[in-house]
Every structure is written in C-alpha cells, then in structure tokens.
Structure 1
Amino acid sequence: MYVIVGLGNPGRKYENTRHNIGFITIDYLADELGIKVNKLKHKALVGEGRISGQKVLLVKPQTFMNLSGQSVREIVAYYKTELSQLIVIYDDIDIEKGSVRIRKKGSAGTHNGMKSIIYDLGEDSFPRVRIGIGASGGAPLVDHVIGNFTKEEVPLMEKAVQRAAKGVISIVEDGIDMAMNKYNGSD
C-alpha cells in the first residue's frame, strides 16, 4: 500500500496558504480518485482508495507542520509501509513558483515539516513531491509561507497542484523514475 502524505496546517486560518499546498494536492487527488479523506486516525485525516488497482492511503497530518513526523511515523509503523511507498507532498521556497520537483530521497532543506518526518523516521530515503512557492522576496519567511496566494498566483498554483497529482499517480502506476522524467518542471 502506498501512503501519500500532503503537508499543511489544520484549521480554516491556514486553508489556502502556500504552506498548505500539500493538503491542497491531497484534496485534489481525493476528488479525482473519489476518495473521502475524513477519518481521524494516527493524528491525521485519512482516506483509503485505489490507484490502478493499487491500494493507497491519502493522509493530511493534523499535528501542525512542525510535528508532521509524529503522525507519519505512526502511520508507517501501523501499516508496515516500505519507505519506497511513502510519498510526501509539500511546498518548497527554494524552487521556482509553480514548478514541481519529484525526488527519490533527500534532505529536508529548510522545511520544518520534512525535518520532523526525517527525524521521526530516522531516514530520508522516501519519495517526495515538492511544489515551488517561490522565495519570500524580502518578506519575513513565516509571513510568506502562511500567506494566502495572490490572485495572480492562483492559476499557476492550480496547474502545479494538477501536475503534482499526476506525478503522484505516475509514481504509483509507473515508478518514480518515469514520474520524475515526465512531471519534473512546470507547464
């Protein structure tokens, strides 16, 4: 079973913020796949379904971003998930706004949610789908990441979410190498 985790912060206050692009992508995937992400288990909202016959669990940790690893660790342990079948979707200030970057493994960079997951799993060898939200442009970082998308950013970010979702589906269907070749970049 694939565990597909979108990172974000719970609550209306954070709903459409840059930092919640992982949650937004999970919601998009859930709609596309007809999966309800509404059960509270392992400190997360989860929903089970299938991608091309392969069982998947869509996950939105409810621990707040900086403690995401607690939820992910519980889920991975409970379902005995191979780390190669854990996919984490999150925002990245270090890549171009609207672009998608799929990787097999890697460091957390400056992302506290990923730092938490890597710390709690004791590993960084799991696939991730990063969605570029761009740099803060001189604004304080926290204001940038928990800020809402501007009107101009919305269409670009909607395309990025769709591209990221297709990348996740491709990881499950075709493997990560094919997904990286096909979906890294932007439209």
Structure 2
Amino acid sequence: MAAAVDALERQEIRRILLTRPAVEAGEKLGFLPGDLSQKVDPYLRPLYDALFEMLGFEKVEKLIERNVIEVAPLAYMRGRTLNDAFIILDESQNTTIEQMKMFLTRIGFNSKAVITGDVTQIDLPRNTKSGLRHAIEVLADVEEISFNFFHSEDVVRHPVVARIVNAYEAWEEAEQKRKAALAAERKREEQEQK
C-alpha cells in the first residue's frame, strides 16, 4: 500500500485500484442487506482501513470521489484495462485460477500490479485450487514478474503473532511427517499381505 501511495504522490501513476475476492473466512455470513457497496464493504474494509491509516480519512474520501483511488470487488475487474495505475490484489490466495488469470490480464500500460496472499490461509471450497498457488507455478519463469515470500520474522503485527505463525508451521510440518509415516506403514502392510 505504501508503494502505491508513494507512486501516486510522485505522479508515476494516475490512480490506485485496490481489489480482493469476496470470500468468507470459514463462517457463512448469509444474505447481506443493502446496495452493492454495502454488500461488498465488509470484504473491502481492510483496504479502506490501511488507506485511512496512511493518508487520513478526509484525503482518502476526496481521492475516492475523484476516482483517483478505487476500491472494488475482484468480480468487477472483467473487461477493464487498467492503464497508469498501481493495482493491488489483496487476499489473492482466495482467487480461483480463472479469477487470477482474469486479474493478471487487466494490467495496462504504465501500470504495476502487486498481489498479496498467504497460501496457508486459503478459504476456498475443498478441491478448488488457489489462483495464487497456480500463478506461482505458472509464472515462476516469466520475465518482469517476481515473487517475494515472507516468513514469521517478517510479521509486523503484535510479536505474539510471529510465535503463533511459528507454532502453526511446526504443527503442519509434524502433521505432514505423521501422514507420510502412516502412508508408508500402510504400504508396508499391504506389501506384507501379498
């Protein structure tokens, strides 16, 4: 977000566009009343919060009114070409492969795209591959595209969050080893029965 604001202030781009998929984190919220902006606001609220923290409420509101800053659900990107823009796709681990491809092909001239996501926090239905995971595989060798991976020591929240991340990573590693050992044991038992 800071890089986008900096690029705007240095007039390297003409607008900032922020988007994220409207995917619920585990719990189902059901029908949301209101118009479109009221329905998608809960999904986009973290993006607004970051902008307000960096620029202040009044400045953000003015920039939104002038369409210099746009916050929109990912579903509304289809058909657009985003020139002279800094585009941020947040929570991209919750995109499908099709959504990610659609987003990536919106990038226009003199634009930069930053895609953030955490593949350990995917909220998609089972058997739906994350667009972020897929993009990492498909685009690894494409020129002008780079990936930066962060770890628990990069956490900029409360220090306990890094310890929480480490604990989950250790548990997941142990769980993978346990499953591999069980699979090896089953295979050995099957071979002994033959």
- Identify whether the pair has TM-score above 0.5, normalized to the shorter chain: no
Given the two structures, how large is their TM-score scaled by the length of structure 1? Answer: 0.37
Structure number with bigger Rg = 2
Higher helix share: 2
